[in-house]
Structure 1
Amino acid sequence: MLRLAVTGAGGFLGWHVRVLLRALGWPEPTVLTRSDLADPAVLAARVDGVDRVLHLAGVNRGEPAEVAAGNVQLAAQLAEGLKHCANPPARVVYANSVQAGNGSPYGDSKAAAARLLADTGVDLDNVLLPNLYGEHGRPYYNSAVATFCRVLAEGGRPEVHADRELGLVHVTDAAARLAGVPAGGSWDPAMPALRISVRDLVGRLTEVAATYRTGEIPSLVDRHDVRLFNTYRSHCFPAHYPLPLPRRGDARGELVETVKAHGGAGQTFCSTTRPGITRGEHFHLAKVERFVVLRGSAEISLRRVGDTEVLRFPVRGEEPVLVDMPTMWVHKLVNTGPDELVTMFWTNELFDPDRPDTWPEPVEAARPAPVAVGA
């Protein structure tokens, strides 16, 4: 396990880096704040002896002059602190951009920042990142995917002002690449990209939203299907849940349609849970998971990794509803009734004991938390 220090830990990419490290049980990275960067002596002390510094902090939006100056200043501050460090890190990993050096204020400032970091004497891994997307991105800021998902989740229709091809990489793959996490689980540090036009992206997400509006699962054939769906779901939660399910009954009994999947793998199972017993206390990085209580009463509790607020959904078999677990949210199910609880679970993939994508963590009593997105 590497000892890491991170700038920009409260941003979109920084949060996903810390969630991945948390899932793997790596030590909490040292968080380098803007005030740390402003003081070379303090910064030098905080990075002393770490294996790797991930420089993720940057300025993406604003007036062109502010963007250009901000990216250069952050890199210059980090570089100065490294020069004062008695035991400097073995490597600096810079979250650069494929736009570096493209003639824009943003691109040229990112390229200039890389040159400053290269002059510190510390080995520099200059990673040119493409467009990143993923759960809990800020709309109108982090990516077009986040913007389109938010518009659709709110019932709107995204507009395409200029069509072009995008290369989209899921943020967990980028986090693995930057942190030096080897391939495995649901991530891929090779950062496989989805090549898609803006217009086709909007069409794909619009289909996802239309299918999911009533709880039906869209076609999830490949990993980008799953990750785009998870990204969209992150903009639906918690406002769209729980979703009521119709019950149909006759003299023979009752029927509840719990899952309608339009394509891809899937696994369904049922469990019984005794009164007072808890199931869950874990989170997933990529797996889609659905809970439907069919008999008895329960409480479903969820907490986003890095947050302290716990959301609670009381559910009863007499009024069946679906609650889909958002990725990177710790969740549990507790039988709150006096009788046995019957619950149906559905996941979008067959269970693989070698790659379960199930990361234990209690909902109520969390370890020291990653800085929340946007902090």
Structure 2
Amino acid sequence: MKILVTGAKGFIGRNLVERLKTFKEYEVIEIDRDNSKEELEKEVLKADFIFHLAGINRPLIEEEFMDGNVKFTKDIIELLISNKKNIPILMSSSIQAELDNPYGVSKKAAEQVLLEYGIRAKAKVYVYRLQNVFGKWCRPNYNSVVATFCNNIARGQDIWISDIHKEITLVYIDDVVKSFIHTMRSNRTTNGYLTISPEYKITLERFIELLKDFKSGRITLRLPDMSDEFVKKLYSTYLSYLPEDDFKYSLDMKTDYRGSFTEVIRNLNMGQISVNISRPGITKGNHWHHTKVEKFLVVSGSGIVKFRKIGEKEVFEYKVSGEKLEVIDIPPGYTHSIINTGTDNMVTVMWANEVFNEETPDTIFQEV
């Protein structure tokens, strides 16, 4: 199946093309502004399905709206009509089509051209009036508040807001692409307007607050709430705008003669992840918890984890090694220790179900 995508190098087009390439049954034909009219005509007639995503939204002069949005659509339609083709077309439009401004008027006119083609050629046509789309690869400082704010906050640059209480509606790029492909593959017979689900409504104040929390997370080690689908998608988007020389950041390694202990991640919902390095012969721990639980995973070196239930004398031992990855559960009510019995440093990944709080540490020292 040959699929043609106009606007293939744009934000939505690029994401769609890369997803389509993962399906072996599709041949993707990419058309963008650097293709000639002859190339467009040749490729359009080869297509079994067309994603028409090309358009103009930031022209130098107002007249370019009609040329880039309406005339370009007409050129494709007339080519199909003159060659007696009824190729299905999915077009990305905008909620601006509901407004009386030059861009909105041009998008609505382009929609009408497509809908008329559906009637004339008895072709399947689908129009998506998209809300503000956010996600990776969107151009900052252009026409996306999400891309601009993610980019600028990640770089410590200023942002400007006229009304922090303004509410915006957003849809995520992967949801857009998923819906587009589903519509194509479902071969649905219903023509006309379609929408993306889910939509997310958020005030600019809350939106900026989240982005600033993402940025400070490298210091606080706090991950955002990944159970919130919008927050998860926005966090992924934010990270895609990090400067390419700033992917790495340092952690606070607490070191002494025994080795080191380093917190990596904190999250109020999922607890805390740390990395513990023990030098040969070193014993760490010898404490217990009332409620806090942990998991130990030795990923390098070898050692022994010892347990003793509080108030009893019997000691239990578990051998651990990076040669065989096994998780050790640390239940409450057992004093425990971990001993490096090898000749190299032992590295242990540790998870606790709650973030450490100095005021209520729930850590009682007692020898195993």
TM range (shorter): 0.5 to 0.7
CA distance in 2, matches of 1:343, 1:68: 62
Equivalent residue for 1:59?
Answer: 56
Worse overlay, 213-222 or 50-59: 213-222
- Would the alpha carbon gap of residues 232 and 341 (structure 1) be closer, same or farther in structure 2, given more than 3 Å must change? farther
Pick closer, same or farther for the CA change 1:248–1:345 going to 2, 3 Å.
closer
Residues 150-190 of structure 1: CA distance to partner in whole angstroms, max 9, x if unpaired?
A: 1101113422114532110001111122222679xxxxx95
Cα distance in 2 for residues equivalent to 1:66 and 1:161: 28
1:170 to 169, 172, 190: 172
Q: CA deviation at 1:46?
A: 1.6
Structure of greater Rg: 2
Q: Which has the higher contact order (CA 8 A, sep 6+)?
A: 1
1:239 to 220, 231, 245: 245
Q: Deviations over 1:243-263 (max 9, x none)?
A: 122322223322122222344
Query: Percent of pairs identical after alignment?
Result: 28
Distance in 1, matches of 2:108 and 2:138, equals 24
User: Cα–Cα, structure 1 residues 341 and 16, in superposed 2: closer, same or farther, change >3 Å?
Assistant: farther
**Which position in structure 2 is the counterpart of 1:69?**
67
Q: How many residues align?
A: 272
Match in the other structure for 2:130: 129
| SS of corresponding position for 2:264 | coil
CA distance in 2, matches of 1:343, 1:139: 41
For residues 349-364 of structure 1, the aligned pairs below 5 Å read none
| Structure 1: distance between partners of 2:79 and 2:272 | 50
Distance change (3 Å), C-alpha of 1:129 and 1:244: same
Distance across 1 between alignment mates of 2:96 and 2:58: 14
> 1:215/1:18 Cα in 2 relative to 1: closer, same or farther (>3 Å)?
farther
- 1:207 paired with 2:213, answer yes
Q: Distance in 2 between matches of 1:14 and 1:123?
A: 20
After superposing on structure 2, the runs of 4+ consecutive aligned residues of structure 1 that deviate more than 6 Å are 265-270, 339-346
- Structure 1's unaligned 5+ residue stretches are 184-188, 271-293, 297-338, 347-375
The 2-side partners of 1:84 and 1:36 are apart by: 21
Partner of 1:275: none
- Could you tell me the TM-score, scaled by structure 1's length? 0.63
Q: Report whether the alignment pairs 1:260 with 2:266.
A: yes
- 1:29 equivalent in alignment to 2:28: yes
Letter in 2 for 1:224: F
Question: Residue 114 of structure 2 corresponds to which residue in structure 1?
Answer: 117
Change (3 A) 1:253 1:155: same
Distance 1:14 1:262, change over 3 A: farther
**Deviation larger for 91-100 or 214-223:** 214-223
Q: Distance in 2 between matches of 1:16 and 1:345?
A: 37
Alpha carbons 1:139, 1:147 under 8 Å: kept: yes
- 8 Å contact from structure 1 (residues 165, 196) kept in 2: yes
- Structure 1 residue 211 displacement after superposition: 2.4
Counterpart CA distance in 2 for 1:343 and 1:24 is 40
CA offset digits 1:277-335 (Å, max 9, x no partner)? xxxxxxxxxxxxxxxxx879xxxxxxxxxxxxxxxxxxxxxxxxxxxxxxxxxxxxxxx
Q: Provide closer, same or farther for how the CA distance between residues 269 and 212 of structure 1 changes in structure 2, counting only shifts above 3 A.
A: closer
Q: Deviations over 1:195-231 (max 9, x none)?
A: 1122322222222222245654223221111110011
Residues in 2 aligned to 1:20 and 1:240: alpha-carbon distance in whole angstroms: 27
| Deviation for aligned residue 1:64 | 3.0
The code of the aligned residue for 2:89 comes to V
- Select the residue among 97, 103, 108 that pairs with 1:106: 103
1:246/1:92 Cα in 2 relative to 1: closer, same or farther (>3 Å)?
same
- For the pair 1:251 / 2:260, whether they are aligned, the reply is no
Q: What does residue range 335-350 of structure 1 map to in structure 2 within 5 Å?
A: none
Residue 92 (str. 1) matches residue 93 (str. 2): no
Whether the 8 Å CA contact 1:47–1:88 is kept in 2: the answer is no
Secondary structure of the residue that 1:256 maps to in structure 2?
strand
Q: Match for residue 47 of structure 2?
A: 50
Distance 2:36 2:345 in 1: 56
Aligned mates of 2:150, 2:246 — CA distance in 1: 14
Query: Which residue of structure 1 lines up, in the alignment, with residue 15 of structure 2?
Result: 16
Equivalent position SS for 2:246: coil
TM-score (normalised: structure 2):
0.64
Structure 1 pair 268–65 and aligned structure 2 pair: CA distance change class (3 A): farther
SS in 2 for 1:243: coil
Distance, in Å, in 1 between the alignment partners of 2:345 and 2:196 is 46
